[in-house]
Structure 1
Amino acid sequence: MKLILPILASLFTFTSLSYAADNEDSTAAPPEATAPLSPAAQKSRIEPSLDENRIQELVKNTPEETELLQLDTGKADEKLIGFYRTEGSGITQGGIIIFPDQNTHMAWPDNLKYLSEGLSEFGWYTLAIYLPQPARLPIPERTLPTLSNLTPTNPSRESEDSEPANNAPSAKEITSTPTTDTPKDEATDTPKEPYEETIFRLGKTAISYMESRENLDRFIIIGVGTGATWAAQYVNKFQEEQDLRLLMVDAKSPADNSLPSLSTILPEIKDTIIDLHHSSPRSSAINLTQNAPNSRLRLARHNKMNNFHQSRMPAMTDNWKRNNSWLLKHVRGTINTYVIKAEEAERAIKLNNKIPNNEQAPGQ
């Protein structure tokens, strides 16, 4: 018992000292709160660039026997990025420039890469160029729904002079001030350059490079998907200055409705137009939308476009290698028929017309 009493006394003393120390800490002045960072000091969100990421990957994975081009287009901070292949048959047929779909790129394995490499083995210099992503369409202005027709559940409980709960704005205030999803940037008043101007510069740069390097004078502009619309735009723009033909693969219009459609562009093109598609006969017959092949065929017949040639390719299968081989055969076949052989026959006709009748071979 004598031993327990001193121990209890020491514990009571230690508890009292700890309680006093806790009270001193609680009465001490609280630490100064750190001021919040200003908006300028906070890091702004940087959205990744799809074009830069794609180009970096394409540069790292340039195919064999393919030359990576980075050409100045004449505009500051703009370059043409392309995969260039020389012909491998010894017989020069001309140059081919490939415009990819906006959802793909110049080395897309499903069709672009196969066409670029395959056609270069049959006398064609090929240049598949990278098309930058078009500017995003502006978000339409969105306003809050009209609240003037809404009536409160119990109008007798509300007074005209009473303030809205929680200082909320009235219905009249809401409807009078429309809100938009994104604020307008008043600092940039200069209008953006139309996307087609970028396409024109890239196409002219590609043509000039192939003309100066290989001394080519015959070109085919191949457009795949939405690239077919831009290819048609380019051919229509420069058909008087350059020797151009147009070849479209599964053509479709871009999402921007302000651009001219293929139905407007194609009748203005005087050179050869080849339209290849994978649509089935039934879907082509019943589908009369703008992107439907049957609509383009009816348009060509209506305008008596003798330069327009349309061909249906075999249906797509799960075997992408077989699809690519079919695509290459169809493209080669139509080019041989409507470009090479047709122009040879045209030259022969012109040559025979220049020969006097008394000097022509017998039977002519």
Structure 2
Amino acid sequence: MLPVYRLALSALCLSLILPCAFSVEAADSASSAGKTAEEKPPERAPLLERTQEDATALVRQVPIQEQQQLQAGTDTFLALWKPANTASPKGAVIIVPGAGENVDWPQAIAPLRRTLPDVEWSSLSITLPDPQSDAIAPRIAEMPPTLKAPETGSKDATTSAPIEQAVSGEAEIADKAVVETREEQIGADAERIFARIDAAIAYAEQQSARSIVVLGHGTGAYWAARYLSERQPPQVEKLVMVAARTPVSAKPGLAELAPTLKLPTADIFYRDKPVDRNAALERLQASKRLKASGFSQVSLKSLPGNSKAEQEQLVRRVRGWLSAEPKEVR
């Protein structure tokens, strides 16, 4: 009888323990599910563009009275406005920075925007968006070693040729897709930039600017020239390009754009920089092939180790050109 009693006692204990264990496990599962549902990780905020980060930093450095928040479509961007120090301003100069530069960049941008008001010109320096097209680079494909053509005379040459052709064809298709995507993105960049220049012109008009000049530095000169070529705003009377550069893969280039503009254009470049000098020569030759052009060039000499003198030289040349009587363009 004793073994039977022990077996019955064991069975009774198990019948009491198992339901408790199952209920505890079920409670833990329900609690975990509840926590998972309640404690979802917060969605990460979209990263700011580099130019937005620069603008945020500048807001703490630049006098508040110079800061303007302009609207271009869905974009709000920082612009720095300095009115001319005279009762009768000659007009306003809209300054367009190049890639990697901001509204108070120490080369060209800041010296010009701060000095022009002393010579009766208001200045408005604007923030450009980050160029998204720079993030799309053409792929450099290299054929895998196992698929490279064997040496002449190999028995596998006949069978390897179709493989090489297939790989080459795929690479061409991929590269073509990259080029098309890049062209689309350059077009999107242009629309965002043009909208900001539109907003800058509207602001200058609100300040009763009698004359409006657009001045671009680096790639900013390209976007300014392209804007004036495509939009042809009647409010803008002159264009100044400083150390102009065409963005990678952007078409048409500056040599095609600048000389054909129907307004006086100054092309200021540094003659002791071979790349800049050759590009400027190409633009000059293109202008000479036209019957009528308001295109003119001003060459400067870079002054390494003396940035202050170099910037003063630039300011003097820009001021002199703005004060000169413009050439008539027909």
One fold, TM greater than 0.5?
yes
Distance 1:91 1:224 in 2: 27
2:111 alignment counterpart: 114
Q: 1:137: Cα distance to partner? A: 3.7
Q: Is structure 2 residue 100 aligned with structure 1 residue 83?
A: no
Give the counterpart letter for 2:61 in structure 1.
N
1:215 alignment counterpart: 208
Whether the aligned pair in 2 keeps the contact of 1:92 and 1:123 (CA below 8 Å) is: yes
Q: Is structure 2 residue 318 aligned with structure 1 residue 325?
A: no
Distance 2:260 2:325 in 1: 19
Residue 196 of structure 2, aligned match among 182, 196, 202:
202
Q: 1:122: Cα distance to partner? A: 1.4
Q: After the TM superposition, which residues 152-301 of structure 1 pair with which residues of structure 2 at under 5 Å, given as runs?
A: 194-212=188-206, 214-255=207-248, 257-280=249-272, 283=274, 288=278, 292-301=279-288
Q: Residue 41 and residue 306 in structure 1: after superposition, are their counterparts in 2 closer, same or farther (change >3 A)?
A: closer
Deviations 1:170-217, CA, capped at 9 Å, x for gaps: x99x969x79x9xx9xxxxxx7561111111101111111112x2224
Distance 1:56 1:97 in 2: 21
SS of equivalent to 2:251:
coil
Distance 1:274 1:175 in 2: 49
Q: Residue 45 and residue 97 in structure 1: after superposition, are their counterparts in 2 closer, same or farther (change >3 A)?
A: closer
Q: After the TM superposition, which residues 5-44 of structure 1 pair with which residues of structure 2 at under 5 Å, given as runs?
A: none
1:59 alignment counterpart: 59
Q: Residue 103 and residue 83 in structure 1: after superposition, are their counterparts in 2 closer, same or farther (change >3 A)?
A: same
Q: Is structure 2 residue 289 aligned with structure 1 residue 302?
A: yes
Q: 1:259: Cα distance to partner? A: 2.6
Whether the aligned pair in 1 keeps the contact of 2:98 and 2:220 (CA below 8 Å) is: yes
Q: Residue 81 and residue 218 in structure 1: after superposition, are their counterparts in 2 closer, same or farther (change >3 A)?
A: same
Distance 1:46 1:238 in 2: 32
Whether the aligned pair in 1 keeps the contact of 2:214 and 2:236 (CA below 8 Å) is: no
1:50 alignment counterpart: 50
Q: Residue 332 and residue 258 in structure 1: after superposition, are their counterparts in 2 closer, same or farther (change >3 A)?
A: closer
Deviations 1:34-82, CA, capped at 9 Å, x for gaps: xxxxxx9799898674223211111111147x51111222x22x11311
Aligned-residue RMSD, C-alpha: 3.7
Q: 1:92: Cα distance to partner? A: 1.1
Whether the aligned pair in 1 keeps the contact of 2:129 and 2:193 (CA below 8 Å) is: no
* Worse-superposed segment, 246-255 or 312-321: 312-321
Structure 1 or 2: larger helix share? 2
SS of equivalent to 2:266:
strand
TM-score by length of 1: 0.64
Distance 2:281 2:241 in 1: 14
1:29 alignment counterpart: none
Give the counterpart letter for 1:254 in structure 2.
P
Distance 1:248 1:139 in 2: 27
TM-score by length of 2: 0.70
Q: Is structure 2 residue 91 aligned with structure 1 residue 94?
A: yes
1:133 alignment counterpart: 130
Distance 2:47 2:149 in 1: 41
SS of equivalent to 2:130:
coil
Q: RCO greater where, 1 or 2, for CA within 8 Å and sep 6 or more?
A: 2
Give the counterpart letter for 2:311 in structure 1.
N
1:157 alignment counterpart: none
Q: Residue 175 and residue 54 in structure 1: after superposition, are their counterparts in 2 closer, same or farther (change >3 A)?
A: same
Identity %: 24
- Please, which runs of 5 or more residues in structure 2 have no aligned partner? 1-39, 151-162, 178-183
Aligned length: 266
Whether the aligned pair in 2 keeps the contact of 1:134 and 1:195 (CA below 8 Å) is: yes
1:71 alignment counterpart: 70
Distance 2:269 2:119 in 1: 22
| Greater radius of gyration (CA) | 1
